[in-house]
Amino acid sequence: MSATRITKMLYGGAGASDEGVAVPFVLPGELVEMDAAEGLRILEPSSDRVVPGCIHFGACGGCHCQHASYPEQLRIKQAILREIFSSAGLAEPPEIEVHSAREWHYRNRIRLRVGEVDGELRVGYNRHNATGGDAMLPIAMCPIAAPILWQAASTLLEFAAVEPPIRAWLAAAVELELFTNADETALQLVLFTRNPSPASFAAFCGAAQRAIPQLTGAGVAILPKKPSPQGRRAEHAKPGPQWGAPGLVYRVDEVNHWVGRGGFFQVNRYLISTLVGVATAGRSGTLAWDLYAGVGLFSRALAGQFDRVVAVEAAEPAATNLKAALASAANGRNHRAIAATTVEFLKAAVVQRERPELIVMDPPRAGVGPEVCALLGRIRAPEVVYVSCDPVTLARDLKLLTGSGYKITHLHLVDMFPQTFHMETVAVLHL
């Protein structure tokens, strides 16, 4: 590849060259050259290029943007979001309101690979664009993680040399997940394994807690004997031995949320309160629905602002925990938690006369999809707040909703994932 100018950034972390080639670790306006022997060379660097904050950047597949100043990262994400919307036929979206906080040490959860490297137990992430047996990159730091998370991982490796139960269980694990609350006072651990260790899990946990006093609970997730060719996301783990508390309390805006071990929760400990405010603040009335409600992050806020809240969640144990959470909220007897899929709930709702004034929905990365959009078009709630972690599926769904008469009135970029290409978007729609 001869010298080429980077014209724009693409969703996924790469930049597009003059010839339309995707080039990683570049910035808009830079003149670059790809050499087969030397790799990427920056001939004319952007003034927004900075020294990455992690020694593993470029080799590690976790971060994509550490070479850009943080203000430039935010500008890039806004430009990408506008282009994705335009490509979906949403030609005139409102101005994007940006919400950001600290760009380092923000993650409350990490999932690390575990393996033996040169006869030594190590933890790491997947290498950039690597697959197969060489995909693991052993790491010595992770500056986007809350400090206790990396401290706990490195402590386990250290104590594996002197505590046989820790050594045995780490040697049996293929991955470990660590999750902490906002102030790092409690820690949950999950070990993923295909062949459980014969050592006592209670002995492992006792030794681990002596080394890491914040550890309040741990569990084993047993994966299929053979890895799935579709990757770990396609694998369904079975529960193994469990120890201690089955979750932890995560406090957001004076509200305590119970998050079960391994359960979903927003990852940026500095911006969760902001995200809740963007989705719920200033909204009140008689009835609100919270779809894909999870542990009730938005439901609990809405419960103090609406006479009645209906929260819909299909996954267990989140659905069961959600019922208890709403029962303890203000006017708890007026609120309902329904264990059902959003499609099931909406199909039943369209034949009922009751209609909410507000619908908040925070679906998984796949978005809500055409069927849900069609049902929402029939229900016609006056206001819909759509929280999304994938701008492509969001734009697809918003195109369908605007076809049902909705108008996008506000658009928020909440930067829950600094140093990466990922983005959290909140779109507000009105009839």
- Write out pLDDT tens, residues 241-257: 999 999 999 999 999 99
pLDDT at 424: 98
- Work out the average pLDDT over 264-277: 97
- The encoded tokens of residue 70 equal 């943080």
Q: Does residue 235 have a pLDDT over 80?
A: no
Q: At 333, is the secondary structure helix, strand, or coil?
A: helix
Cβ 102 vs Cβ 145: under 8 Å: no
pLDDT at 287: 96
pLDDT at 408: 97
Q: At 374, is the secondary structure helix, strand, or coil?
A: helix
Angle at 264 between CA 247 and CA 160, to 5 degrees: 55
Write down the mean pLDDT value for the chain. Answer: 93
Query: What CA–CA distances, in Å, run from 407 to 90, 288, 390?
Result: 10, 19, 20
What are the b/e assignments for 239-278, b being 16+ CB within 10 Å? ebbebbbbbbebebeebebbbbbbbbbbbbbbbbbbbbeb
- Write the DSSP string, 269-289: TTTHHHHHHHHHTT--EEEEE
Cβ 335 vs Cβ 303: under 8 Å: yes
Confidence of residue 228 (pLDDT cuts 50, 70, 90): low
Q: Does residue 131 have a pLDDT over 70?
A: no
**Which range among 67-71, 76-80, 317-321 shows the weakest confidence by mean pLDDT?**
317-321
pLDDT at 92: 85
User: Which amino acid belongs to residue 220?
Assistant: V
Query: What CA–CA distances, in Å, run from 339 to 26, 52, 265, 313, 320?
Result: 46, 44, 18, 5, 8
Backbone phi and psi for residue 348, each to the nearest 5 degrees, phi listed first: -70, -35
What are the b/e assignments for 114-147, b being 16+ CB within 10 Å? bbeeeeebbbbbbebeeeeeeebbbbeebbbbbe
The more confident residue out of 261 and 328 is 261
Q: Which structural domains are found in the chain, ordered by start?
A: 4-67 (2.40.50.140), 109-248 (2.40.50.1070), 268-430 (3.40.50.150)
Confidence of residue 324 (pLDDT cuts 50, 70, 90): confident
| Distance (Å, whole) CA 190 – CA 201 | 12
Confidence of residue 130 (pLDDT cuts 50, 70, 90): confident
- The encoded tokens of residue 419 equal 């140093």
Angle at 96 between CA 90 and CA 100, to 5 degrees: 140
Give the H or E element holding residue 300: helix 297-303
Percent of the chain topping pLDDT 70? 97
> pLDDT tens digits for 164-177?
999 999 999 999 99
pLDDT at 323: 84
Task: Say what angle helices 369-379 and 391-403 make with each other, to 10 degrees.
Answer: 40
> pLDDT tens digits for 362-388?
999 999 999 999 999 999 999 999 999
Cβ 168 vs Cβ 202: under 8 Å: no
Indicate the DSSP class of residue 337: E
Confidence of residue 37 (pLDDT cuts 50, 70, 90): low
Query: What CA–CA distances, in Å, run from 146 to 103, 240, 315?
Result: 11, 27, 27
| Distance (Å, whole) CA 18 – CA 373 | 38
User: Which amino acid belongs to residue 311?
Assistant: A
- The encoded tokens of residue 58 equal 């470029």
Give the H or E element holding residue 396: helix 391-403
- Work out the average pLDDT over 215-224: 96
- Work out the average pLDDT over 80-107: 95
> pLDDT tens digits for 100-119?
999 999 999 999 999 999 88
Percent of the chain topping pLDDT 90? 83
pLDDT at 329: 76
Q: Does residue 132 have a pLDDT over 60?
A: no
> pLDDT tens digits for 355-369?
999 999 999 999 999
- Work out the average pLDDT over 284-310: 95
pLDDT at 229: 66
User: Which amino acid belongs to residue 268?
Assistant: N
